[in-house]
Amino acid sequence: MKHQLGLDVPDTLVSQIIHIRDASIYNSLVPYECPILEITPPGFVEPFVVEDLEQNFTVNLSACDIGLQTANCETYHNDFTDGIYVIKWSVSPNDKVYVEYNHLRITKALIKINEILCCLNLRPDYNEKIQEAIKQIQILTVLLKAAKAQVEFCHKPEQGMQMYNYVIKKLDKLACGCGCSSCK
């Protein structure tokens, strides 16, 4: 009889926050003590720690909230980079009652897809060039979901990141092809 911990980390179009929701099932007969949320961003080896969270929490964390940004927090929030975040949620005894996820953040890619869709200025009477762009976006969207699946479900982070990087490269090319202002 213990807590069944779980987190929901949905994709978001807000680049300055990471949204995390507690999806745990708590046993009322077991104490809820020492809650610790650990977030290790891409390129880091030590996690940033958030403590004292209530059961069934929902948090929108900024780079300032987790210590990734330490200056100008009152006026500006840095973007979270896309990539693999290791997110661990635990309660006492923290070495035994925990859940850990590899979360592939894809905010930059989702924003780029929306920018391209705006750039295409879709109408019901679109031409073949736009139809081809739509097909490419559909394929890249599926590949982006496949990248998340590789990281989050198949436990193949390297393959997931390779696929993510491929999608970003193709989205950049597609953005340039339609004349988007975000063309690189």
Note the pLDDT tens digit of each residue in 11-48.
999 999 999 999 999 999 999 999 999 999 999 999 99
pLDDT exceeding 90 applies to what percent of the chain?
82
C-alpha dihedral over 161, 170, 13, 40, to 10 degrees?
20
Do 33 and 92 form a contact (C-beta atoms < 8 A)? yes
Q: In the structure encoding, which two tokens stand for residue 167, read together?
A: 């999608």
pTM recorded for the entire structure: 0.91
Q: Mapping DSSP to helix (H, G, I), strand (E, B) and coil, where does residue 104 land? A: strand
Fold of 7-105: Immunoglobulin-like (2.60.40)
Tokens 């592939």 — which residue? 104
**Which of 140, 133, 146 lies closest to 168 in space, CA to CA?**
140
Residue range(s) of every CATH 2.60.40 domain in the chain: 7-105
**Which of 99, 128, 93, 10 lies closest to 59 in space, CA to CA?**
10
Counting DSSP H helices and E strands in the chain, the numbers are: 3, 7
Q: Is pLDDT at 164 greater than 80 in this prediction?
A: yes
